[in-house]
Structure 1
Amino acid sequence: MYMPINQWAEDDRPREKFLLKGKAALSDSELLAILIGSGTRNESAVQLCQRILASSNHNLTILSKLSIAQLMQFKGIGEAKAITIAAALELGRRRRVEEAVVLEKITSSKDVFELMQPIIGELAHEEFWVIYLNNANKIIYKSQISKGGITGTLVDSRVIFKIAFEYNATALILLHNHPSGKLQASQADITLTKNLQQASKSLEIQILDHIIITENHYFSFADEGIL
């Protein structure tokens, strides 16, 4: 039977529970319920949020991809509540980016994944980026080289090496995302990597890796012995 949140035991109400037990004690649906504030006549805010989360397989990353219009398809979610949910999820994504930026030195392909996944791992289109490093493998600069469609993007080697000279980089890490989620290097990926690697030798710039990033995983040319 439906019971409004204000009739629940005090330590079961999301806001009160947050104050009494701390944020870690709350479920995702309870945290979302605090954001939207109220439910409908027949459904509490927590129940409504449980339904929203269930539609996204209880995955916040999937939920973050819903548009405002899609969120508003749920009865009880108007434009203001939809924007509030979307804004909170975007803040969470930006926090992940800021945490990754704290990393100064690249020691493994996993470091690159953790740095770049929040930036390109969940995009619906493909982007090609380069991380520029000094001789201690510390990050000097990272740059989006190109942006394309679902299946590919064009890469201009002149742009890559021009930036390398501007920042006095001695090493590069190439990376791009696969919106399809496919963790496999295409022949075009391999050819591009080898061409850039050949060009970099005469410039005394080392290409350390080329990493393909998806939503949850990555593929490293260096780890797989392709470089």
Structure 2
Amino acid sequence: MKISELNEADKPREKALANGIESLTDAELLAILMGTGRPGTNVVELSQKMLGHCDNRLERFARMSIAEMVREFHGVGHAKAVTIKAALTLGSRAKSAEMSDVRTTVFSSPKLVYDYMWDKLSRIDHEEFHVLLLSRAATLKSRICVSRGGTAATVVDVKIVMRHAVEHLADSMILVHNHPSGSLMPSPQDDDLTHRIAQAGKLFGIPVRDHLIVTAKGYYSYHDEGKL
């Protein structure tokens, strides 16, 4: 079944145009690259099965070769496999270029953090919680998404945050999450989580420099508001 034959609400191209490309699931993005499914299975369903083959871990899927895709997925020929690998490779190169540029940036102000995170968080319809792990000079060592949730909340495990910080030998960190509602006011849960991570950071000598709440129209900085 082709994308054009899907129900209107199930068409990923139309969804991307209406809500932004970031609103699409991994399977829907893959479906756009695929274009068509196979007899009895529409393209979105086939894409879901392909990702499911890799336990829905995109990094594992990206490591599959063209030959492996053709062999493992009925309905995927060489042309589709090459298209998928080309898109994944282009994305990987773009990410490498981005990281090369951002690693020289000194995250000395909330505005710099907001500018870096805006396109990653401002247009999605669910909450995500990211941690920027910084060097002694406040340049980026790594950015980790530690949690993805629903439209109103996401659950963050402080132990996971600290594990990443320790593993990357971070000297400090900045917390960032989005509010899909557009509200810039932190919730009591946001305040509590910020306090708990900051306390854990002190124990490990990895201070929390700031916690930003990001929306499409602006940001809230715990540091600027005197809450860190």
Question: What TM-score do the two structures reach when normalised by structure 1?
Answer: 0.57
Aligned to 1:152: 153
Aligned to 2:210: 209
1:163 Cα deviation from its structure 2 partner: 0.8
CA 1:117–1:95: 2 relative to 1, 3 Å:
farther
Aligned to 1:167: 168
CA 1:163–1:124: 2 relative to 1, 3 Å:
same
CA 1:135–1:223: 2 relative to 1, 3 Å:
same
Q: Secondary structure at the match of 1:125?
A: coil
Give the aligned residue type for 1:152.
A
Q: Identity of paired residues, percent? A: 35
Counterpart-to-counterpart distance in 2, 1:170 and 1:132: 8
1:112 Cα deviation from its structure 2 partner: 0.6
Give the aligned residue type for 1:153.
T
Give deviations 1:186-222, integer Å, cap 9, x for gaps: 1110111011111111111110000000012111000
Counterpart-to-counterpart distance in 2, 1:171 and 1:202: 12
List alignment gaps of at least 5 residues for structure 1: 1-60, 69-78, 80-90
CA 1:67–1:136: 2 relative to 1, 3 Å:
closer
CA 1:116–1:66: 2 relative to 1, 3 Å:
closer
Give deviations 1:116-135, integer Å, cap 9, x for gaps: 11111111000000000011
1:64 Cα deviation from its structure 2 partner: 3.3
Give deviations 1:125-175, integer Å, cap 9, x for gaps: 000000000111010000000000000000011111111111100101001
Matched, 1:103 2:102: yes
Counterpart-to-counterpart distance in 2, 1:174 and 1:62: 30
Counterpart-to-counterpart distance in 2, 1:168 and 1:134: 8
Are the counterparts in 2 of residues 130 and 143 from structure 1 also a CA contact under 8 Å?
Answer: yes
Are the counterparts in 1 of residues 22 and 124 from structure 2 also a CA contact under 8 Å?
Answer: no
Q: How does 1:6-17 map to 2 (within 5 A)?
A: none
Are the counterparts in 2 of residues 175 and 212 from structure 1 also a CA contact under 8 Å?
Answer: yes
Equivalent pairs, count:
146
List alignment gaps of at least 5 residues for structure 2: 1-16, 25-34, 36-89
CA 1:99–1:213: 2 relative to 1, 3 Å:
same
RMSD, aligned CA: 3.0
Question: What TM-score do the two structures reach when normalised by structure 2?
Answer: 0.57
Are the counterparts in 2 of residues 100 and 115 from structure 1 also a CA contact under 8 Å?
Answer: no
Counterpart-to-counterpart distance in 2, 1:116 and 1:187: 23
Counterpart-to-counterpart distance in 2, 1:101 and 1:121: 23
Counterpart-to-counterpart distance in 1, 2:220 and 2:95: 21
1:184 Cα deviation from its structure 2 partner: 0.6
